[in-house]
Amino acid sequence: MLQTIRNAWKIPELRKKIIFTFFMLLIFRLGTFVPVPFISREAMKEMIQKTGEGSLLSFLDTFSGGAFGNATIFAMSITPYINASIIMNLLTVAIPALERLSKEGEEGRKKIAQWSRYLTVVLGFIQAVGLYFTLANARAVSTAGWNSGITIVLTFTAGTAFLMWLGEQISEKGIGNGISLLIFAGIVSRLPVMVSTLVASYKAEALNVITILGIIIVAVVVIAIVVAMNNAERRIPVQYSKRVVGRKMYGGQSTHIPIKILAAGVIPIIFAMSIMAFPGTLAGFFGKTATSGGFVGWALKLLSPASTFYAAFYFLLIIFFTYFYTAIQFNPVEIANNMKKNGGFIPGFRPGKPTSDFIARVLSKITIAGAIFLGLIAVFPIISTRATGINISIGGTSILIAVGVALDTVKQMESQMLMRHYKGFLE
Q: Give the start-to-end residue ranges of the domains of the chain.
A: 1-189, 191-394
In this structure, of 29-33, 144-148, 412-416, the range with the lowest mean pLDDT score is 412-416
Any idea what DSSP says for residue 36?
P
Exposure b/e, 339-357, CB count within 10 A at least 16 = b: beeeebbbeebebeeebbe
d(CA 169, CA 177) in angstroms, rounded, equals 10
Cα separations in angstroms, 11 against 181, 413, 419, 421: 22, 12, 11, 11
pLDDT of amino acid 299: 81
Closest CA to 185 of 338, 403, 28, 322: 28
d(CA 182, CA 67) in angstroms, rounded, equals 12
d(CA 126, CA 132) in angstroms, rounded, equals 10
- Quickly state the pLDDT bin for 265 (edges 50, 70, 90): confident
Closest CA to 35 of 136, 141, 139: 141
pLDDT in tens, 126-185: 888 888 887 887 777 877 778 888 999 999 999 999 999 999 999 899 888 888 888 888
What is the percent of the chain where pLDDT is above 70? 86
- Segments in 95-137 forming alpha helices (H): 96-102, 106-137
pLDDT in tens, 178-234: 888 888 888 888 888 778 877 887 787 667 788 778 878 878 888 888 888 888 888
1-189 and 191-394: identical CATH topology: yes
If DSSP codes are grouped into helix, strand and coil, which group holds residue 116?
A: helix
Closest CA to 86 of 179, 184, 176: 179
What does CATH list as the number for 1-189?
1.10.3370.10
Most confident of 12-21, 96-105, 243-252: 12-21
d(CA 378, CA 59) in angstroms, rounded, equals 12
Closest CA to 140 of 257, 242, 38, 281: 38
- The partner residues of 255 in beta bridges, in order of sequence, read 238
If DSSP codes are grouped into helix, strand and coil, which group holds residue 253?
A: coil
Reply yes or no on domain 191-394 having CATH 3.40.50.300: no
- The partner residues of 239 in beta bridges, in order of sequence, read 254, 345
d(CA 113, CA 116) in angstroms, rounded, equals 5
Q: How far is C-alpha 415 from the geometric centre of its chain's CA atoms?
A: 23
pLDDT of amino acid 382: 75
Exposure of 2 by Cβ count < 10 A (0-12 exposed, 13-18 middle, 19+ buried)? exposed
Please provide the average confidence, as pLDDT, over all residues in the chain.
Answer: 81
Handedness of CA 89, 90, 95, 99 (dihedral sign): positive
- Strands across the sheet containing 344-345: 254-260, 233-240, 344-345
pLDDT of amino acid 278: 72
